[in-house]
Amino acid sequence: MKADILFLLLAIALLWFPRQSLRLGSIFKRKRRSDAERATGDEPWRTREPGDPRVRMGEEFSKFRNYVDALRAGVASVALAGGWGIPPVLWVAEGASRNAGWSVIIIRSLILIVGLLVQTVRYERRKFTFFPPIFFIAGLSLGLCEPAAALSAFALIWAMHVMFTGAMSFLATYSVLIVGFGHLFARGGDLSAVLAGILCFTPVLLSLLSNRPLVTFSRKSSHSDR
């Protein structure tokens, strides 16, 4: 097993950097947000009802940090797995045993899983909350699956998003689409697509095992999906 240490560390940094640390500058935006909230105060159709757990397309696509999540996850996953003409930062040396190949797969998977957990689990106000990192997962799938498969799954899940009652059903369905399209476009078994599907389902599994909701955050309040 060989590794490009510098680029491997950069990929890990991109994956393990917590999303909440991107809140820099929120202090300066507070006044602007307050003005916006007052402007929409008399227009209730522009705001989310308290307790509404649904994933809203307009709301999610308007968050700049979501695009940052997708970009950094995509770049890091491509770096780890290789693709798009880019060699992987972690690979098996020529003539190595089959066990070495599995070691690389396990190490890549652990790096991705830790990155996903960092984005999913938050400890705030002396309690744990679970967040569905949808765009981060989309970026991971772009690096792990065929690009056409990742984009098809992402497009279809948003086309269907009005059908889901919350983030749990959204991510559960998204995981199935990633695996399905991954196998379809790969024209056979695709272990990386299975890994992407497992990563997508992980927040759902955490929520079920802990009996805690997946929470979607808006500017005014948080909303959960039990």
Q: Give the global pTM.
A: 0.84
Q: Which two tokens stand for residue 213?
A: 């909701």
Longest CA–CA span in the chain (Å) reads 69
Instruction: Indicate the number of domains in the chain.
Output: 1
Query: Is 148 a residue whose pLDDT tops 90?
Result: yes
- Domain extent, residue 98, equals 2-225
Q: Which two tokens stand for residue 162?
A: 């009005």
Q: DSSP state, 187?
A: T
Query: Is 46 a residue whose pLDDT tops 70?
Result: no
Identify which has the larger pLDDT, 33 or 196.
196
CB under 8 Å to 82, separation ≥6 — which residues? 88, 91
Burial degree of 223 (CB within 10 A; 0-12, 13-18, 19+): buried
* 84 φψ region: left (φ > 0), alpha (ψ -120 to 50), beta (else): left
Q: DSSP state, 86?
A: B
Query: What's residue 42's pLDDT?
Result: 47
Query: What's residue 216's pLDDT?
Result: 81
Could you give the C-alpha distances from 111 to 144, 154, 226, in angstroms and in order? 13, 23, 28
Structure confidence by residue, pLDDT tens digits, 179-214: 999 999 986 567 899 999 999 999 999 999 999 889
Closest CA to 65 of 164, 142, 134: 134
Is residue 45 very low, low, confident or very high in pLDDT (cuts 50, 70, 90)?
very low
Backbone angles phi, psi at 181, to 5 degrees: -70, -35
Structure confidence by residue, pLDDT tens digits, 12-27: 999 999 987 766 544 4
Look at the block and give the residue holding tokens 């279809």.
Answer: 156
Structure confidence by residue, pLDDT tens digits, 153-178: 999 999 999 999 999 999 999 999 99
Identify which has the larger pLDDT, 217 or 118.
118
